[in-house]
Amino acid sequence: MDCKKFWQLIDEARESAEGWEEMYDPLVEKLSKFSDEEIIRWGQIFDLYQKLSYKDRLWAGSYVINRGCYDDSFDYFRGWLTAQGKDVFLNALRDPDSLAELKLERDEALFEEMLSVSAYAYFKKHILKQDYGRYYSEHDKHPLSAEEIAAIDSEIVYAEETGIDWGAEGSVFREIVPRLCKHFKW
């Protein structure tokens, strides 16, 4: 499993389901057909993208789109963002305000289930009931190499971090994501 296949599976699942809202089951189904190592590696690639996308400017975009954003909801937002595909994901990291082009509805950008795709594909393959102990035992056996991590990191261009003063949320958001604020009448 590599990044190209990772994104390809996401795109195929979204297209076969005719949208991200219904892509969870097709994605789990497709991924469950791979070897244990490939399933785990898909999850590790997903986890790395989640880690690398933990940025304050992106958080500001999520905050405006979803009328607030706490730790869990930012995870769900980044799950949703990944489900949109590589181009949308990378564009949002470079410029979170690019999400205004998607013409989203309020509270539309959360996809909690995306965080469990790899684990559920593994469970489905082995006909297991949520045995996370076994899954994480396998997870630890197949880490991404330093070269793979560096390659993924190198494809991301980040928006400049802001050091957001969350206490000044209204005006700071209009500076960071003005098009999103306009779209959502912030």
Q: What is the pLDDT of residues 41-87, one digit of tens each?
A: 999 999 999 999 999 999 999 999 998 888 899 999 999 999 999 99
Joined tokens for residue 143: 């880490």
Q: What is the pLDDT of residues 31-43, one digit of tens each?
A: 999 999 999 999 9
Which residues contact residue 68 at a Cβ distance below 8 angstroms, ignoring those fewer than 6 apart? none
Tally the residues of the chain.
Answer: 186
Which residues contact residue 164 at a Cβ distance below 8 angstroms, ignoring those fewer than 6 apart? 56, 57, 59, 60, 172, 176
What is the pTM (predicted TM-score) of this model?
A: 0.92
Sign of CA dihedral 90, 53, 158, 167: positive
| Domain regions of the chain by residue span | 3-183
Provide the residue type at 149 as one letter.
I
CA distances from 181 to 74, 93, 177 (A): 18, 17, 6
